[in-house]
Structure 1
Amino acid sequence: MSARTLFTDGWTFRRTDNDTSASVRLPHDAMILETRTADAETGNHGGYFPGGSYVYARSWTAPADATQRTYSLFFEGVYGDTRVLVNGREVARCNSGYREFTAPLTGVAPGETALIDVLVDNTRVPNSRWYSGSGIYRPVWLESAGPVRIAPDGVHVVTRSISGDATVDVTIRVEGELPSGATASAEFSYDGERVVREHAATATGGVFSIPVTIPTPRLWSADSPHLYEVRASIAVDGDPVDQEQLRTGLRTVTVDARRGLRINGATELLRGACVHHDSGILGAATFAASESRRARILKAAGYNAIRSSHNPLSRAFLDACDEIGLYVMDELTDVWLKHKTHHDTADQFADVWPADAAAMIQKDRNRPSVIMYSIGNEIAETATQDGIDAAHAIHRYFAQNDPTRPTTLAVNLLLNLMSSRGSSPFEREQYLGEKKEAKDKKEATSTAANMLTAKLGRVMELAARLPAADKASRGAFGTVDVAGYNYAYGRYAADRKRYPNRVIVGSESMPGDLPAIWKRVTTVPGVIGDFMWTGWDYLGESGIGTWSYGSEPGSINKPYPALTAGPGAFDITGLPGAPALLAQAVWGTATTPGIAVRPLGTSGQRANRTPWRTSDAVPSWSWRALAGQAQIEVYSADDEVEVLLNDRSLGRKKAGERVGFVTRFRTQYEPGELVAIGYRDGAETGRSTLRSAGTPTLRLRPETTALQGPDDLAHVWIELADENGTVDMSTNDTVTVTVDGAGTLAALGTGAAATTESFTDDQHSTHRGRALAIVRGSDQRGFVTITATSARHGSATIILSPADTEHEGVPA
Structure 2
Amino acid sequence: MLKSYPKTVLWCFLLFSAFFCTKTLAEDYPARHNFNSEWRFHLGDGDFKSPEFDSSSWRKLSLPHDWSTEGEFSKDNPTRNANLPGGIGWYIKKFSIPAEHTEKQVELEFGGIYRHSEVWINGRSLGMQYDGYTTFYHDITDYVNFGAENTVAVRVDNSEHPNCRWYSGSGIYRNTWLTFRNPLHITNWGTYITTPEVSSKKASVKIETAVKNDGKKKDFSLRTEIYGPEGNKIKQISTEKTARFKEKLKINQKIEVDSPKLWSTQRPQLYKAVSIVSSDGETKSRRETRFGIRRLRFDAEEGFFLNGKNLDFKGVCLHHEAGTLGAAVPKGVWQRRLENLRDIGCNAIRTAHNPPSQEFLDICDELGFLVMDEFVDKWENEKFADEHFREEWRDNYLNTIKRDRNHPCVVMWSVGNENLPAGSKEQNGYLKMLGGFVRYHDPTRPVVSGMRRGGDYNVEKKVENILKSCEYMDLIALNYGEQWADELAETNPDKPFVSTESYTYFNSSDKRRYAKIESAPWLDAARSDFNTGVFLWVGIDYLGESGWPKIGSKAGLFDIAGFRKASSYLYEAFWSDKPSIYAAVYKQDPDDFSKTGQWGWPNLTESWNFEDKQTADLAVYTNCKKAALYLNDKKIGEKKLADFPNGIVKFKGVSYEKGVLRAAGIENGEEVCNYELKTSGEPAKVRLTAEDTPREDGICHIRAEVVDSEGRVVKHAENELEFSADGGGEIIALSNGDVTSHRSFSETSLWSAYKGRVLCIVRVEGEKPLRIKAGSEGLESGRIQISPADSSGSNR
2:357 alignment partner in structure 1: 314
Q: Does 1:757 align with 2:768?
A: no
The DSSP-based 3-state class of the residue aligned with 2:377 is coil
1:529 alignment partner in structure 2: 533
Provide closer, same or farther for how the CA distance between residues 659 and 259 of structure 1 changes in structure 2, counting only shifts above 3 A.
closer
The DSSP-based 3-state class of the residue aligned with 2:172 is coil
Provide closer, same or farther for how the CA distance between residues 699 and 370 of structure 1 changes in structure 2, counting only shifts above 3 A.
same
2:23 alignment partner in structure 1: none
Structure 1 residue 622: Cα displacement = 4.8
Structure 1 residue 65: Cα displacement = 3.4
1:247 alignment partner in structure 2: 290
Aligned counterparts, 1:488-507, within 5 A: 488-507=481-500
Structure 1 residue 286: Cα displacement = 2.4
1:12 alignment partner in structure 2: 40
The DSSP-based 3-state class of the residue aligned with 1:585 is helix
CA distance in 2, matches of 1:604, 1:368: 44
Provide closer, same or farther for how the CA distance between residues 464 and 228 of structure 1 changes in structure 2, counting only shifts above 3 A.
farther
Q: Does 1:573 align with 2:561?
A: yes
The DSSP-based 3-state class of the residue aligned with 2:241 is coil
Structure 1 residue 473: Cα displacement = 2.4
Provide closer, same or farther for how the CA distance between residues 128 and 811 of structure 1 changes in structure 2, counting only shifts above 3 A.
closer
Cα deviation, 1:173-199, whole Å, max 9, x if unaligned, reads 112248443111111112121111111
Cα deviation, 1:148-201, whole Å, max 9, x if unaligned, reads 111111111112211321101011111224844311111111212111111122
The DSSP-based 3-state class of the residue aligned with 2:399 is helix
Structure 1 residue 811: Cα displacement = 11
Provide closer, same or farther for how the CA distance between residues 714 and 679 of structure 1 changes in structure 2, counting only shifts above 3 A.
closer
114, 117, 137: which is aligned to 2:150? Answer: 114
> Which moves more between the two structures, 515-524 or 212-221?
515-524
1:71 alignment partner in structure 2: 106
CA distance in 2, matches of 1:197, 1:626: 74
232, 236, 239: which is aligned to 1:197? Answer: 236
Q: Does 1:466 align with 2:509?
A: no
Structure 1 residue 520: Cα displacement = 3.4
Q: Are the counterparts in 2 of residues 182 and 236 from structure 1 also a CA contact under 8 Å?
A: yes
Structure 1 residue 119: Cα displacement = 0.9
CA distance in 1, matches of 2:242, 2:308: 33
1:648 alignment partner in structure 2: 634
Structure 1 residue 524: Cα displacement = 2.9
Aligned counterparts, 1:14-413, within 5 A: 14-16=42-44, 21-40=58-77, 42=78, 44-105=79-140, 106-163=142-199, 164-177=201-214, 179-190=217-228, 191-202=230-241, 205-341=248-384, 344-345=385-386, 347-413=387-453
For residue 223 of structure 2, what is the amino acid of its counterpart? S
> Which moves more between the two structures, 75-84 or 472-481?
472-481
Q: Are the counterparts in 1 of residues 784 and 794 from structure 2 also a CA contact under 8 Å?
A: no
For residue 75 of structure 1, what is the amino acid of its counterpart? F
TM-score (norm 2): 0.88
For residue 181 of structure 1, what is the amino acid of its counterpart? D
For residue 671 of structure 1, what is the amino acid of its counterpart? K
For residue 153 of structure 1, what is the amino acid of its counterpart? W
Aligned counterparts, 1:737-748, within 5 A: 737-748=723-734
Provide closer, same or farther for how the CA distance between residues 67 and 599 of structure 1 changes in structure 2, counting only shifts above 3 A.
farther
477, 491, 497: which is aligned to 1:484? Answer: 477
The DSSP-based 3-state class of the residue aligned with 2:364 is helix
For residue 520 of structure 1, what is the amino acid of its counterpart? D
Cα deviation, 1:608-637, whole Å, max 9, x if unaligned, reads 31111232325x345489995433210123
What is the aligned length?
737
Provide closer, same or farther for how the CA distance between residues 97 and 787 of structure 1 changes in structure 2, counting only shifts above 3 A.
same
Structure 1 residue 79: Cα displacement = 0.6
Provide closer, same or farther for how the CA distance between residues 95 and 65 of structure 1 changes in structure 2, counting only shifts above 3 A.
farther
Q: Does 1:728 align with 2:714?
A: yes
1:449 alignment partner in structure 2: none
For residue 557 of structure 2, what is the amino acid of its counterpart? A
> Which moves more between the two structures, 664-673 or 348-357?
664-673
Provide closer, same or farther for how the CA distance between residues 465 and 659 of structure 1 changes in structure 2, counting only shifts above 3 A.
farther
Q: Does 1:596 align with 2:604?
A: no
For residue 192 of structure 1, what is the amino acid of its counterpart? G
Q: Are the counterparts in 2 of residues 636 and 656 from structure 1 also a CA contact under 8 Å?
A: no
CA distance in 2, matches of 1:279, 1:303: 18
1:509 alignment partner in structure 2: 502
For residue 165 of structure 1, what is the amino acid of its counterpart? K
Structure 1 residue 722: Cα displacement = 4.0
Cα deviation, 1:634-665, whole Å, max 9, x if unaligned, reads 01233432211212333222324634111122
CA distance in 2, matches of 1:569, 1:758: 24
The DSSP-based 3-state class of the residue aligned with 1:470 is helix
For residue 194 of structure 1, what is the amino acid of its counterpart? K
CA distance in 2, matches of 1:626, 1:58: 65
CA distance in 2, matches of 1:75, 1:395: 26
Task: Identify the structure with bigger relative contact order (alpha carbons < 8 Å, sequence gap 6+).
Answer: 2
> Which moves more between the two structures, 662-671 or 364-373?
662-671
TM-score (norm 1): 0.86
Cα deviation, 1:318-369, whole Å, max 9, x if unaligned, reads 111100111001111110123223xx41x32222221221111112100000
Structure 1 residue 382: Cα displacement = 4.8
Structure 1 residue 54: Cα displacement = 0.7
Structure 1 residue 144: Cα displacement = 1.0
Cα deviation, 1:278-332, whole Å, max 9, x if unaligned, reads 1122111121111111111101110011111111121111111100111001111
CA distance in 2, matches of 1:360, 1:181: 32
CA distance in 1, matches of 2:694, 2:425: 56
> Which moves more between the two structures, 692-701 or 70-79?
692-701
CA distance in 1, matches of 2:301, 2:695: 49
CA RMSD in angstroms, aligned pairs only? 2.6
CA distance in 1, matches of 2:710, 2:497: 48
For residue 413 of structure 1, what is the amino acid of its counterpart? R
Q: Are the counterparts in 1 of residues 90 and 153 from structure 2 also a CA contact under 8 Å?
A: yes
Provide closer, same or farther for how the CA distance between residues 725 and 326 of structure 1 changes in structure 2, counting only shifts above 3 A.
farther
Cα deviation, 1:466-525, whole Å, max 9, x if unaligned, reads 223223322221101011121111110111011111210011111114855344324433
Q: Are the counterparts in 2 of residues 413 and 470 from structure 1 also a CA contact under 8 Å?
A: no
For residue 449 of structure 2, what is the amino acid of its counterpart? L
Provide closer, same or farther for how the CA distance between residues 622 and 246 of structure 1 changes in structure 2, counting only shifts above 3 A.
farther
Cα deviation, 1:253-274, whole Å, max 9, x if unaligned, reads 2223133222222222111111
For residue 237 of structure 2, what is the amino acid of its counterpart? E
Q: Are the counterparts in 1 of residues 121 and 153 from structure 2 also a CA contact under 8 Å?
A: yes
The DSSP-based 3-state class of the residue aligned with 1:380 is coil
Provide closer, same or farther for how the CA distance between residues 598 and 519 of structure 1 changes in structure 2, counting only shifts above 3 A.
closer
Q: Are the counterparts in 2 of residues 504 and 526 from structure 1 also a CA contact under 8 Å?
A: yes
The DSSP-based 3-state class of the residue aligned with 2:327 is coil
The DSSP-based 3-state class of the residue aligned with 1:317 is helix
2:758 alignment partner in structure 1: 771
Q: Are the counterparts in 2 of residues 372 and 408 from structure 1 also a CA contact under 8 Å?
A: yes
For residue 198 of structure 1, what is the amino acid of its counterpart? I
Provide closer, same or farther for how the CA distance between residues 465 and 792 of structure 1 changes in structure 2, counting only shifts above 3 A.
farther
Aligned counterparts, 1:546-585, within 5 A: 558=547, 560-585=548-573
Answer 1 or 2: which has greater helix percent.
Answer: 1
CA distance in 1, matches of 2:711, 2:477: 44
CA distance in 2, matches of 1:477, 1:397: 16
Q: Does 1:662 align with 2:648?
A: yes
Q: Are the counterparts in 2 of residues 716 and 774 from structure 1 also a CA contact under 8 Å?
A: yes
CA distance in 2, matches of 1:228, 1:203: 29
Structure 1 residue 383: Cα displacement = 3.7
For residue 357 of structure 2, what is the amino acid of its counterpart? S
Structure 1 residue 101: Cα displacement = 1.0
The DSSP-based 3-state class of the residue aligned with 1:397 is helix
Structure 1 residue 797: Cα displacement = 2.5
2:779 alignment partner in structure 1: 793
